[in-house]
Amino acid sequence: MKMKRCFISLLTLTLILILQIGCQQKKEKASYLNPNLSIEKRIKDLLSRMTLEEKIAQLQCEIGEVEGKNIITEKGIGNLAVILRPYQARQAAEKANRIQRLALEKTRLGIPVIIHDEALHGIVGNKGTSFPQAIGLAATWNTELMEKVAMAIGKETRSRGIHQVLSPVVNIARDVRWGRVEETYGEDPYLTSRMGVAFCLNIEKEGVITTPKHYAANVGDGGRDSNVIHFSERLLREIYFPAFKACFQEAGAQSVMAAYNSIEGIPCSAHKWLLTDVLKKEWGFKGFVVSDYGSASGIYSMHHTAATKKEAAKQAIEAGLDVELPGIDIYGEPLLQAAKEGLVSELTIDEAVTRVLRAKLRLGLFEKRDVDAEYAEKINDSAEHRQLARQAAQEAIVLLKNQDNFLPLRKDIKSIAVIGPNADVGRLGGYSGFGMKIVTPLEGIKDKVSPTTKVYYAQGCQLEWTALPPIAAESLVPAGAKPGIHGLKGEYFNNMKLSGTPALTRIDRQVNFNWESGSPDPQVNSDQFSVRWTGKRVPSETNIYQLSITTDDGVRFYLDGKLLVDKWYDRGPTSDYVSLKLEAGHPYDILIEYYENGGGAVAHLGWNLKPR
């Protein structure tokens, strides 16, 4: 009986091997794999072999960990979002290689994936060089310098196995209340177009797709970027379109991001005049259009121009939106059902898939296999790139006034006071790299002045979210920990539902984290993760205490089983305060549940040091 089962198993393995060899031989004979044929012929051949589901998969994106799952091998997913951020260059390159091999070798047709991230002023990744923020680069008025910066960004990006950057921002900033002014090149259409062209041209030369954004007119009344924009066509064409047009026609940018807002009531992600008539027909754009993160869903949920997700999918793809970012929503089951029911023609889907495949073939992703991990480690945060960043920072400085030649200060000055919330903080700007040594203004001044100079420092007011001081580790006891261990037990999950087995369990001495766009640990996603912290705190005195819980995105805070803070939804960094009477010596159970969806990641538990 055992021998019979063994024989059947061997037969099964043999059949699987034969099928795999046959599949591989079919792949090898396929015209789309022949680099000597034209790109358009290869696309035509590949499209003829694809099922409807495989076509739609090319218009989809996934965010979060993919290794060890069937996201690529089963679905043949076309795009991956910000999956390499937590890793230093070598590890990022090695991970990208493993992922690309899954797509090329373990899917039916072997279609590679496009991995994207942000690179507004340097690739957002562990030990990626950060250059001055975009508004600072614009202040240099030096397009030749921008070309060098872009080339460095392109090299670091491609070396990590990243193929597309969701940059630059070429929106015109004419309202300082808009939260994204720092990401732009300012208020002038001509300067913005010259900087945008320099950026796109030189990153594209390094084999990385650029994605000018947010198309179009992303800021309106009150500095809001997700509402209705009421601009005339003349205003759009004279002020808000020129930089985009230049990036496509002069620099060859291969992608573009549709904006959150609507124009005269039509969402930009479903705006046929914007995405097809102007962009593709009038300007001759041959690349692919991506949604801003969640803007495709916004057709249905925010702008309400569609009654169902199926209708939203129809509006988007027929208008010219090719890829939904960062996860699958309306371009999942809603689009599939719309196609099967004849609401959307397969020809329309083919046109979108063609634009995505064209980009992959132009990059040579079907032929190019691994990136060089050793080179990635060498080029990222290299001495050459640091020096270039220093030069750009120096040229970005704008001195408005120097009355009586007060500056520069003498190094042997008797004393100097450094005051303000930015004095001892290294603020690199939004979408920055991380993991490098940052010198704050206070540190820099101390390093430069004479040893005899007295340096005074005062923080002054606080910026952004305001929280109470973090609880000292010595006041916390982790759940289930041995005596003498302090902090809270942290269980980290690679999903936003605290479900399944934790990807990481550790003792966090404090809940006092600002991961920004990074990750708590290489084992944890940089976006769409959740954490459960558990432990106890024993007050030393009976009194009324105040606590604060500060998060970017959702949080629930329990004390002795009582829910005190329930903010389980996406939000920017926000502090919630609770005042309550605590008894000395009582061990109060602490439970914090937190999730992070996208963007910055902040989690902070504060407690007043003295009773009130």
**Active site members:** 292
Angle CA 456–402–174, to nearest 5: 95
Residue pair 89/130 in contact (Cβ under 8 Å)? The answer is no
Rounded Cα–Cα distance for residues 580 and 73 (Å): 52
Nearest Cα to Cα of residue 319 among 279, 286, 359, 357: 279
Surface-to-core class of residue 302, CB atoms within 10 Å of its CB (0-12 exposed, 13-18 middle, 19+ buried): middle
From residue 321, alpha-carbon distances to 60, 275, 299, 317 in Å are 11, 7, 12, 5
Nearest Cα to Cα of residue 111 among 103, 120, 121, 119: 103
Q: What is the 3-state secondary structure (H, E, C) of 394-458?
A: HHHCCCCCCHHHCCCCCCCCCEEEEECCCCCCCCCCCCCCECCCCCCHHHHHHHHCCCCCEEEEE
Q: What is the chain's percent helix, strand, coil content, to nearest 5?
A: 35, 20, 45
Q: What is the 3-state secondary structure (H, E, C) of 87-110?
A: CCHHHHHHHHHHHHHHHHHCCCCC
Pull the structure tokens for residue 610: 């003295």
Rounded Cα–Cα distance for residues 175 and 214 (Å): 16
Instruction: Give the H/E segment covering residue 590.
Output: strand 588-596
Count, in order, helices (H) and strands (E) of the chain.
Answer: 18, 23
